[in-house]
Amino acid sequence: MKATPLAIVAAGAVLATMPWLGLPPFYDSFLYLVLSWVVLATSWNILSGYAGYFSFGHGAFFGAGLYTTTTLAAKFDWPFLWTLPAAAGVAALLGLGLGAVVFRVKRVRGELFALLTLAVTFVLATIVLNTRIDGGPGVYLNSVPVPAIGPTQAGTFYLLALGAAVGTLLIAWGIVRSKFGAGLFAIHDDEDAAEVLGVPTYGYKLVALAISAGLAGVAGGIHALFISYVTASEVFSITVPLTVVLMSVLGGTRHWAGPAVGAVVITVLLYSFTAADYAIAGKAMMGAVLIATILFMPDGILLRVLKLFGYGRRPVAVRRRRDAADLGPHPGTEPSNAAGGGGDGSVIVGAAATAEPIALDSPSPAPSMVAAGSPSHRAFQSQSQSQSQSQSQWQSSASSVSSIPVASSAHRSSDVLLRAQDLSKSFKGVKALAGVDVEVRSGEILGLLGPNGSGKSTFINVVSGHYAASGGRVTFEGRELVGLPAHRIAQSGISRTYQIPRPFAHLSVLENVAVAAMFGGATLSARAATEEARRWLQFTGLEDKATARPDELNLHQRKFLELARALASRPRLVLLDEVLCGLTPSEIDGAVALIRRIRDQGATIVFVEHVMRAVMALTDRVVVFNHGQLLAEGTATDVMKRPDVMTAYLGRAHA
């Protein structure tokens, strides 16, 4: 068991002695309120903080739990404690029902999602107020017996809230440290990219909403008996959602304990102003605190304090290899503990696990990119006269990891790995793809060429599931891909890069790559994914940037981060979308060498590119698109001599 959950449980055990210290009941009641807000703020953060779906509907889940306990205890004479699981269940079902509808509509994000959840609160309040659940005058619970858990009634409520708070904090911590939490943080930063990497975004959001709602329902159920008189106007007010938002933002939504810290601070401040007869001034102060936090501490006070005391991201001990055997299982085999797996859900998000350093072999010469003396080699060599110092460093780093696996044992052959037949994609009548037929053979590098707007990137987007096909078929290893969600396509063994890099902005470089290892074709455990990510960062020369954020990288490094992330899933087919765009000549040379080495280790590559010297040096075959249709197919040398291809690129006057 980890130190953090032990500390949470130990703190809860110590605080549980409070009711027996003989203090006035006021302290138990006040601490009950603090702990109740801790539950509400922390549970809100599981969806809205981790996944980034900002919700104003927490009052609805709180109210659903509250009225469930009220109805069962006051009208059906259920024992109070028996009503609490029912309160959690009803609130969770409400969350599931809402999410099942809302999360299907991709446009309902951001402000739209926030407003929709707020509307649900008022709809639920109207239903409760106009049915026998409440009926208008409210419901009394004076006759419901309070269970004798503590020495006093106030002590009992305090202990119930303490138990709920400890449980909620353990759940929040466990999510952050798990594969599930890594997926939620990826959704927060770029949901579409997360889905294409293999994160089942719909299911993860649904589970997060259900957990968040269920915990709020428990808090509502306890609060029903605490106040003893329940009215819809008080329960379904805007107070609950606004307060939990303020608490979470103040404490910090990126840390599991941030909302709890914010809940303590806000509750204490509000009580201080109220006790001094300055309740209105207290509310104004809360608004000022929120504005100051957003402007000067956007990550919240907890992360700011942790950084001041040196508890930010821990440095990552980058593993070096002794030999090929240290580099883990070959893709296509079951991951083993040799890759660092233990299945214990070790941290991925927020901090990285450390590892024992391994001695680095002397770098061997980088392999030749193309056959010496070939036309492609001469063409490439004539345009690449010198390498920069940074390129030499890259070659040294890349050559030291020459045995990293990408795919099982694929070699160039006539076997068709992926086949697109009559594939089409339309955007409101504009045909980006108009019935193209493309075959990708196992082990080859296939160049996908064409002028801007010809449909190259659309083809990548459709094959990877980023866009749904309008018609036609795509089969991969004989399996139909059209109609599958993007995460299922990624898990089948296809990965991709984006023309404009789309890293997860709030995750470190190491965490970005580890997400792909956890959710892509490899589907590794959290610990094994961390080790896999280190290997690919070493392979691409980014090991020194493991703890950096993506915004600290230059374009060349972000491109290589995209490549490392695509390779970490151990794909059998890699789709590279203009990975050389924007790079300097020396950086292009490094990227070309890297791509060649990736293929030599077994991967099949579809290579979308405009840099012709790289296309000539790398590709076995090319296909040319024009206006969404297949124009030509063959070797690069033959295809680029065709008049119709020259016309497509240069126009008739220059062809």
pLDDT of residue 641: 86
Cβ neighbours around 483 below 10 Å, total? 11
pLDDT of residue 111: 78
DSSP 136: S
Instruction: pLDDT band for 413, please (50, 70, 90 cuts).
Output: low
Tell me: pLDDT of 399 over 50: no
Domains and CATH numbers, the chain: 3-237 (no CATH), 314-365+386-406+508-569 (no CATH), 413-493+572-655 (3.40.50.300)
Instruction: pLDDT band for 312, please (50, 70, 90 cuts).
Output: low
Most confident range, picked from 169-178, 240-249, 517-526? 169-178
Instruction: pLDDT band for 418, please (50, 70, 90 cuts).
Output: very high
Q: What gap in Å lies between CA 260 and CA 254, rounded to an integer?
A: 12
Q: In this prediction, what percent of the chain has a pLDDT beyond 90?
A: 59
pLDDT of residue 604: 94
pLDDT of residue 652: 63
Tell me: pLDDT of 83 over 80: yes
Q: What is the mean pLDDT of residues 633-637?
A: 90
Give this prediction's pTM: 0.83
Tell me: pLDDT of 638 over 80: yes
pLDDT of residue 107: 74
The three-class DSSP label of residue 580 is coil
User: 197-249 pLDDT, tens per residue?
Assistant: 999 999 999 999 999 999 999 999 999 999 999 999 889 988 899 999 999 99
Tell me: pLDDT of 109 over 80: no
Tokens of 12: 């809860």
Q: What is the mean pLDDT of residues 285-291?
A: 79
Is residue 196 packed enough to be buried (19+ CB in 10 Å), middle (13-18) or exposed (0-12)? buried
Segments of 61-194 assigned E as strands: 139-140
Secondary structure, 3-state, 418-459: EEEEEEEEEECCEEEEEEEEEEEECCCEEEEECCCCCCHHHH
Instruction: pLDDT band for 136, please (50, 70, 90 cuts).
Output: confident
pLDDT of residue 533: 95
Q: What is the mean pLDDT of residues 63-84?
A: 95
CB 259 within 8 A of CB 165: no
CB 401 within 8 A of CB 535: yes
Classify each residue of 171-180 as buried b or exposed e, where b means 16 or more C-beta atoms within 10 Å of its C-beta: bbbbbbbbbb
Instruction: pLDDT band for 581, please (50, 70, 90 cuts).
Output: confident
Is residue 107 packed enough to be buried (19+ CB in 10 Å), middle (13-18) or exposed (0-12)? exposed
Tell which phi-psi region holds residue 231, choosing left (phi > 0), alpha (psi between -120 and 50) or beta.
Answer: beta
CB 359 within 8 A of CB 321: no
pLDDT of residue 406: 39
Q: What is the mean pLDDT of residues 610-628?
A: 91
The residue whose two tokens read 């151990």 is: 570
Tokens of 148: 């004798």
- The larger pLDDT score, comparing residue 372 to residue 561, is at 561
Q: What is the mean pLDDT of residues 379-396?
A: 40
